[in-house]
């Protein structure tokens, strides 16, 4: 974070300094809300959660080196405490001010990304490309909510040239609040799908929430839209910003052709008007072609030449831990560990990738768990995935957990299977079953929402500790 005096910090967040000693202290350390992440010189913001109260951990943060605390009540913990009415509001207000001060220096450019799927991968692609051009700050992991996104923004300093912000939403207004903190120079919308549909109620409501990222953009900003998704394409009419389109169709300004996915990676031809550029990604799946197109389109608007962007993308060995991560076991088994998150669209994309890279040359095994947060769509969407498994000719299906049972049931109804689909209740049961059945050359996809706990099963199958 940029350097602020304690008094300046208190003024920014409209807080009262509880301890006068050290008010002239200059603070420039990281801002944290988890006491376990506190370090020397950090600023700890005590926040009340649904099940925990950060005020109870303020002393632990100080013991780890925190130089100041922002809290909603007085605390006697040996460092200055800034008392505010609402810690979450204080976090947002601080992020707004820090971004504004760095922007005033004239160097900082901001790119934001949202979508039902692909946000984190695209964010990592943007960071990989932009780091080749100048100092870049982007969140680690999926810091994309009302707490995580402002924390990421606070990672900038006066030398930062590019800030990448991932904007997620679980309800209407979430993205609008993030945009109010930091108005992007370039905003990307990847896709509108059923991820978190339980919170929105319908896919149309999801589209309205995602559109919040472009509706308040100024005319000198750029909206980068997936023209292959009709709901995203319709957002062009909602923004005053200049629109750049990406996709597989001829309407796209930044397009892809000749897409090919193998176990070694994904290839395609980047089409920019009359120019055609061969691209080779080490990441698997056609969905990563769309993410790459979005990243190239956005960074092109930020001054990165497409050939340089492509070279940077070619260096990425994985999208993120547990996101379509390619692992090789000592026994010759290939594992696609994609069990950090799951939605109907990402589940279908992963299964299609599994089918594509095996193509009858290798046995395809799908280990699938629950897709969470689908609300009333849950049974129908799990059913649809089970039927898709059969239609893609996946050789073996292992479904883990009662909440994913409709995948197993639908697969059995769709095809005349005899033991190809098995329902087990725990990851341990799945591992015991697979240990006896897997053989060298098999390709195993492990896919579920994080809550299903299958990501460690993927590591275990691959022999990764």
Domain with CATH 3.40.1190.10 in the chain: 105-313
Question: How many angstroms separate the CA atoms of 425 and 48, rounded?
Answer: 34
Helix (H) / strand (E) containing 70: strand 68-71
Provide the pLDDT for residue 200: 62
Provide the pLDDT for residue 411: 93
Predicted confidence (pLDDT) per residue in 307-351, tens digit: 999 999 999 987 777 778 889 999 999 999 999 888 898 999 999
Task: Write out the CATH class of domain 325-462.
Answer: alpha beta
Average pLDDT, integer, range 355-382: 92
Q: Tell whether residue 15 is among the known ligand binding residues.
A: no
Place of tokens 């002239």: 24
The yes or no reply on domain 105-313 and CATH 3.40.50.300 is no
Residue 89 to residues 46, 61, 148, 385, 387: CA-CA distances in angstroms? Answer: 12, 20, 13, 41, 46
Least confident of 53-62, 198-207, 431-440: 198-207
Task: Write out the CATH class of domain 4-85.
Answer: alpha beta
Helix (H) / strand (E) containing 100: helix 87-103
Domain with CATH 3.90.190.20 in the chain: 325-462
Provide the pLDDT for residue 22: 62
Provide the pLDDT for residue 264: 84
Q: In sequence order, which residues have a C-beta less than 8 Å from that of residue 361 and are 6 or more positions away?
A: none
Average pLDDT, integer, range 348-373: 93
On average, the pLDDT of the chain sits at 92
**What are the tokens at 299?**
């960074």
Average pLDDT, integer, range 298-302: 98
Q: In sequence order, which residues have a C-beta less than 8 Å from that of residue 56 and are 6 or more positions away?
A: none
Q: Tell whether residue 121 is among the known ligand binding residues.
A: yes
- Nearest CA to 439 out of 361, 354, 333 is that of 333
Q: What percent of the chain has pLDDT over 90?
A: 78
Q: In sequence order, which residues have a C-beta less than 8 Å from that of residue 204 and are 6 or more positions away?
A: 231
Report the chain's terminal Cα–Cα distance, integer Å. Answer: 34
- Nearest CA to 299 out of 116, 109, 435, 453 is that of 109
pLDDT(199) > 80: no
Domain with CATH 3.40.1390.10 in the chain: 4-85
pTM of this structure? 0.88
Q: Tell whether residue 117 is among the known ligand binding residues.
A: yes
Q: Tell whether residue 115 is among the known ligand binding residues.
A: yes
Alpha helices, DSSP H only, in 314-394? 344-358, 378-391
Residue 429's Cβ-count burial label (10 Å; 0-12, 13-18, 19+) is middle
Q: Tell whether residue 303 is among the known ligand binding residues.
A: no
Predicted confidence (pLDDT) per residue in 263-292, tens digit: 888 999 999 999 999 999 999 888 899 999
Question: How many angstroms separate the CA atoms of 40 and 321, rounded?
Answer: 27
Least confident of 248-252, 284-288, 295-299, 427-431: 284-288
| Position 202 confidence tier, pLDDT thresholds 50, 70, 90 | confident
Q: In sequence order, which residues have a C-beta less than 8 Å from that of residue 142 and are 6 or more positions away?
A: 119, 120, 148, 166, 168, 341
- Nearest CA to 237 out of 260, 210, 215, 259 is that of 215
């Amino acid at each position: 974070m940029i350097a602020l005096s304690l008094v300046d910090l208190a003024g920014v967040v409209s807080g009262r300094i509880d301890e006068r000693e050290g008010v002239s202290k200059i603070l420039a350390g990281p801002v944290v809300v988890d006491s376990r992440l506190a370090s020397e010189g950090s600023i700890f913001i005590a926040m009340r959660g649904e099940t925990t109260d950060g005020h109870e951990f303020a002393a632990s943060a100080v013991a780890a080196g925190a130089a100041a605390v922002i809290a909603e009540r007085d605390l006697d913990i040996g460092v200055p405490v800034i008392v505010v009415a609402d810690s979450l509001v204080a976090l947002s207000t601080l992020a707004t001010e820090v971004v504004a001060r760095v922007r005033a220096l004239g160097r900082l450019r901001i790119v934001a990304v949202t979508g039902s799927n692909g946000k984190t991968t695209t964010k990592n692609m943007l960071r990989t490309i932009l780091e080749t051009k100048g100092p870049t700050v982007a969140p680690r992991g999926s810091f994309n909510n009302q707490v995580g996104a402002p924390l990421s923004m606070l990672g900038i300093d006066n030398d930062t040239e590019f800030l990448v912000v991932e904007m997620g939403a679980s309800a209407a207004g979430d993205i609008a609040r993030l945009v109010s903190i930091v108005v992007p120079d370039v905003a990307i919308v990847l896709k509108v799908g059923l991820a978190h549909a339980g919170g929105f109620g319908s896919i149309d409501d999801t589209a309205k929430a995602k559109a919040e990222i472009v509706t308040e953009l100024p005319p000198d900003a750029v909206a980068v839209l997936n023209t292959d998704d009709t709901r995203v394409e319709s957002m062009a009419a909602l923004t005053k910003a200049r629109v750049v389109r990406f996709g597989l169709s001829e309407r796209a300004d930044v397009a892809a052709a000749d897409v090919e996915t193998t176990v070694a990676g994904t290839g395609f031809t980047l089409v920019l008007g009359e120019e055609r550029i061969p691209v080779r990604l080490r990441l698997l799946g056609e969905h990563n072609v769309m993410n790459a197109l979005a990243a190239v389109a956005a960074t092109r608007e930020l001054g990165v030449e497409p050939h340089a962007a492509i070279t940077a993308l070619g260096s990425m060995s994985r999208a993120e831990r547990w996101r379509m991560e390619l692992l090789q076991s000592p026994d010759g088994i290939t594992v696609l560990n994609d069990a950090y998150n799951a939605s109907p669209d990402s589940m279908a994309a992963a299964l299609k990738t599994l089918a594509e890279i095996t193509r009858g040359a290798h046995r395809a095994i799908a280990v699938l768990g629950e897709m969470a947060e689908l609300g009333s769509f849950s049974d129908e969407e799990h059913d649809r995935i089970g039927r898709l498994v059969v239609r893609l000719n996946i050789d073996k299906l292992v479904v883990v957990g009662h909440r994913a049972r409709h995948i197993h049931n639908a697969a059995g109804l769709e095809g005349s299977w005899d033991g190809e689909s098995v329902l087990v209740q725990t990851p341990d049961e799945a591992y015991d079953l697979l240990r006896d059945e897997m053989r060298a050359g098999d390709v195993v996809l492990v896919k579920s929402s994080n809550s299903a706990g299958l990501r460690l099963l993927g590591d275990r199958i691959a022999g990764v500790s």
